Amino acid sequence: MNRVYNFAAGPSTMPQEALEIAAREMLDFHGSGMSVMEMSHRSKLYQEIFDDTEAVLRGLMHIPDRYAVLFLQGGATGQFAAIPMNLMNGSGAADYVDSGNFAHGALVEAKKYGDARAVASSREADYAGIPALDPAAFNPDADYFYICANNTIYGTRYAAFPETGKVPLVADMSSNILSEVVDVNRFGVIYAGAQKNVGPAGLTIVIVRRDLLGHARPTTPKIFDWSIQAEKGSMLNTPPTYAIYMAGLCMKWLKAQGGVEGIERVNIEKANLLYDILDDSAFYRPRAEKASRSRMNVTFTTPSPELDAAFVKEAEAQGMVSLKGHRITGGIRASIYNAMPVEGVRKLAAFMKQFEVDHRAGV
Amino acid sequence: MNRVYNFAAGPSTMPQEALEIAAREMLDFHGSGMSVMEMSHRSKLYQEIFDDTEAVLRGLMHIPDRYAVLFLQGGATGQFAAIPMNLMNGSGAADYVDSGNFAHGALVEAKKYGDARAVASSREADYAGIPALDPAAFNPDADYFYICANNTIYGTRYAAFPETGKVPLVADMSSNILSEVVDVNRFGVIYAGAQKNVGPAGLTIVIVRRDLLGHARPTTPKIFDWSIQAEKGSMLNTPPTYAIYMAGLCMKWLKAQGGVEGIERVNIEKANLLYDILDDSAFYRPRAEKASRSRMNVTFTTPSPELDAAFVKEAEAQGMVSLKGHRITGGIRASIYNAMPVEGVRKLAAFMKQFEVDHRAGV
C-alpha cells in the first residue's frame, strides 16, 4: 500500500489511524458481531457511539450546555435553507456577508424565505478577500447575521469575526471547524459539513444556542427543524450512523494531537510553509489578500495556465494529488486540513521550490 | 470474529462479502492511495464509482431511461416533505393510503404543503393490514397517489399495487426495495432510505419519471429539488460518497445472487419458514393479516409480554439479535432483508420451535 498526499478540498484526507481502526472494526465492532453500519440506531450500543462522539466534539470545541449539538444530513447546502426556515421569524430580515461562492449560495437560498441582503461583498473583487465590514451598516433588527468563516474556493478566512451585538451570528465553518480555537459563545449557530475537517461526507454538524430553538416556520421540513431534532437527539429519523462513527474516530485522533489548541499550532506552521514560498517568489502568485489568508486552503497560480496544469500533473506523479484549483478560479489549491501531515506539506513545499527552479527560465 | 444474525429493522445486516471488500479497500481503493471516503466527489475516480452504482441499480430494477435516479440525503422523512414540494403543483391535492406509521408521517408532513388526505386507512385497526382500496374514492385530479409499499413496524405489504390511472403513483419502498420484482413503469416515483435493503444509513434513493420534474414550488430547498439534483447528477452539493460506494458493493453482491429475481425466491422461502411456524402454532400469534403479510418484517407475539421479552433475550444469547418489536407494537419482529442468509432464518425457526416447546406448558 502506497498512500498519497491528498490535497483535495473536500472530501479530503483523513487520519490514517482512524481509517485503520475503521478497517479493523468493519465486520465486528468491539465483539458485537456486527459492523457499526449494521447497528440499529435505536440500539444501546449505537447510542453509546453517538453520545461519545457528541461528548468528544463538545470537549474539543468547549461547547457549553446552552448549545444543542445536532448531527444531521443534507450538507451545508441543506442548511442554506434550514437557517432562514429556523431563524427568520422576527423581522424576517437577515444580513449576509458575501465573501465567496458558498456565502453567495446561502444568500440566494435565504431570499426564498425572507429579506436576506448582502451587507458587504467582495464579489466584484473576485472574492480575493473578506470584504471590509462597517458595523454602522448592520441591520440591528436582523434575525441573524451570516458569515462563511473560511472560503474554500478562494482560500480566504476571517482574521476576526464581526461584532453583531444582539443579532445572532451564524457561521458556516465547513472548511475550518476544529482547525482553530473559536469561542462558541460568540455565535448563535455554527454549522459545518463534515467532509473537510471532521469526517466523511453525509454528515452535517449544527451547533445552535438553545434559546434560538422553537421558532421554525410551519412549512419547515421536519428533518430541518432544529427544535425537533434537538428534542429527538438528532434521531427524528435514522441519522447517518456510520459517518457519525467515523467522525468520532477522527475527533479522537484530533484529541490525541492535543485537541484544537494543539492542531491550530500545526496548522499555522503548515500554512506558513506554503505562504513563505509564495511571498518569496516572483514565480508564484498568491490568490488571496494577505489579511484574509486561509490556513486551510492555500490558493495560487504560476505564470500561466499551462504551467498550472504542469504543476498539478508533476505533483501527482510524485504522489501529491488533487492540487487543481476550483473550476471557478482555476490555478492551484492546496487544501491542508487537520489530517494532512506536516510531512505532506513539506514535500509540497520542496516540490514548489524545485518546480520554480525548473520552469522559471522558460517564463 | 463471531458474527451474529442481526434481525434489526434498519440499519440492519449487510452482506459479509461487501463488508470484507470495504475493509480491504479502506486505506487504498484500487491502488489510488486513498480511501473512497477521502476522494473528492468531483474526481474522475469517484465519478466512476458513482456511475457504476447507478448502472447496477438500473440493471437490477430494470429502470428505463425515462426515469432519473437520484442519490440524496435526508432519509425517507426528508422525502415526506420533498414529495409534495416537487409534485403538489396542479390541483394541490394528493391521496394517501394510511397503512402504517411512516405512511401516516408522510401524510401529516404533506398537509403542510397542500390538500393531502387519507383515501383509505387501517389506523383504527392498529395497522394490522393494508386497508381495502376503493378506486371510486380516488381523486382523479390528485397530483399524486401515495403508498408505503411495505410497513416495517407492522410487517405488512401490498400484495398488489393500486391502479391509479393518470395519477402518478408514489411509493416509499424503504423496506422492500430490491427484495422483489417490481415494474418501475407503474410508478411515478419510487424512493427508499438505503439502510434496510440497500446499504448504510445516510443515502436516499429517488427514482422519478422525468416528466414529473421541473415543477417544484419556489420555496423548495435546493437539495430537495429533484429537477436540480437530476440536472446536477445528484451533485448539487457533496453527496454521501461512502454510503453510495457501500450501496454499490451491496448491489453487486445482490447481482451475484441472481439479482432481484433470484433474491425474491430466497426471500419468499425465508418468509415462509417463519410464517409456517406461526400458522402451525397455538403459542405464537402473527400480527399482520394473512393477505398483507410482509416478506421483509415478520411480526408476532408469544402469549405474554414477559415471554416476548424472554424470547428476545434467549435468542440474543444464541447469537440472534435485535428481535424486539417496535416500541409502538411491542412483541417480536424478525426483519429478514436480502442480506439475511437463509441459515439465519433456519436458526431462528429452530429456536422458535424449541422456545414453544420449552414455554408452552407454563402458559
Q: Which residue type sits at B64?
A: P
Strands (E), B156-212: 156-157, 169-172, 189-193, 204-209
Beta carbons of B77 and A242 less than 8 Å apart:
no
Beta carbons of A16 and B1 less than 8 Å apart:
no
Task: Determine the pLDDT at residue B361.
Answer: 80
> Which chain A residue shows the shortest CA-CA distance from B73?
A74
- Enumerate the residues of chain A whose CB falls inside 8 A of the CB of residue B202: 73, 202-203, 239-243
Q: Which among A3, A11, A242 has CB closest to B201?
A: A242
Which SS3 state, helix, strand or coil, does residue A299 take? strand
Task: Determine the pLDDT at residue B363.
Answer: 67
Task: Determine the pLDDT at residue A363.
Answer: 67
Distance CA B356, CA B350 (A): 10
Question: Across chain B, which distance is largest between two alpha carbons, in Å?
Answer: 65
- Confidence class for position A362, pLDDT limits 50, 70, 90: low
Fold of B258-362: Aspartate Aminotransferase, domain 1 (3.90.1150)
Task: Determine the pLDDT at residue B1.
Answer: 74
Size of interface A-B (CB pairs under 8 A): 230
Task: Determine the pLDDT at residue B115.
Answer: 98
Residues B307-358: tens digit of each pLDDT? 999 999 999 999 999 999 999 999 999 999 999 999 999 999 999 999 999 9
Distance CA B187, CA A137 (A): 53
- Confidence class for position A205, pLDDT limits 50, 70, 90: very high
For an interface test with B, the pick among A35, A229, A297, A322 (most B C-beta atoms closer than 10 Å) comes out as A35
Task: Determine the pLDDT at residue B190.
Answer: 98
Residue A215 pLDDT > 90: yes
Which SS3 state, helix, strand or coil, does residue B342 take? helix
Task: Determine the pLDDT at residue A275.
Answer: 98
Mean pLDDT of A169-194: 98
For an interface test with A, the pick among B104, B237, B340, B347 (most A C-beta atoms closer than 10 Å) comes out as B237
Beta carbons of A40 and B10 less than 8 Å apart:
yes
Cβ burial of B16 (10 Å; 0-12, 13-18, 19+) is: middle
Beta carbons of B201 and A238 less than 8 Å apart:
yes
Distance CA A84, CA A207 (A): 15
Q: Taking a C-beta distance cutoff of 8 angstroms, is the pair A103, A151 a contact?
A: yes
Read off the C-alpha cell for B161.
399495487
Residue B242 pLDDT > 80: yes
Residue A247 pLDDT > 90: yes
Residues B79-120: tens digit of each pLDDT? 999 999 999 999 999 999 999 999 999 999 999 999 999 999
Shortest Cα distance from A18 to chain B (angstroms)? 10
Task: Determine the pLDDT at residue B188.
Answer: 98
Mean pLDDT of B280-306: 97
Residue A115 pLDDT > 80: yes
- Enumerate the residues of chain B whose CB falls inside 8 A of the CB of residue A198: none
Residues A67-106: tens digit of each pLDDT? 999 999 999 999 999 999 999 999 999 999 999 999 999 9
Shortest Cα distance from A304 to chain B (angstroms)? 23
Distance CA A198, CA A243 (A): 10
Distance CA A136, CA B199 (A): 52
CATH 3.90.1150.10 maps onto chain B at 258-362
In 3D space, the residue among B158, B151, B155 whose CA is nearest the CA of residue B132 turns out to be: B158
In 3D space, the residue among A129, A125, A174, A180 whose CA is nearest the CA of residue A152 turns out to be: A174
CATH 3.40.640.10 maps onto chain A at 16-256
Distance CA A251, CA A194 (A): 11
Task: Determine the pLDDT at residue B300.
Answer: 98
Mean pLDDT of A201-217: 97
**CATH (one of 3.40.50.300, 3.40.640.10, 3.30.200.20, 3.90.1170.50) for B16-256:** 3.40.640.10
Task: Look up cell 489578500; give the residue.
Answer: A289
Q: Which among B12, B78, B242 has CB closest to A223?
A: B78
Q: Which among A32, A193, A240 has CB closest to B201?
A: A240
pTM: 0.98
Mean per-residue pLDDT of chain B: 97
Helix boundaries (H) for chain A: 16-25, 44-61, 75-87, 101-110, 226-231, 241-256, 259-280, 305-317, 342-360
Distance CA B208, CA B210 (A): 6
Beta carbons of B3 and A28 less than 8 Å apart:
yes
Shortest Cα distance from A280 to chain B (angstroms)? 31
Instruction: Indicate the Cα dihedral angle A229, A234, A235, A241, nearest 10°.
Output: 150
Distance CA A121, CA A101 (A): 11
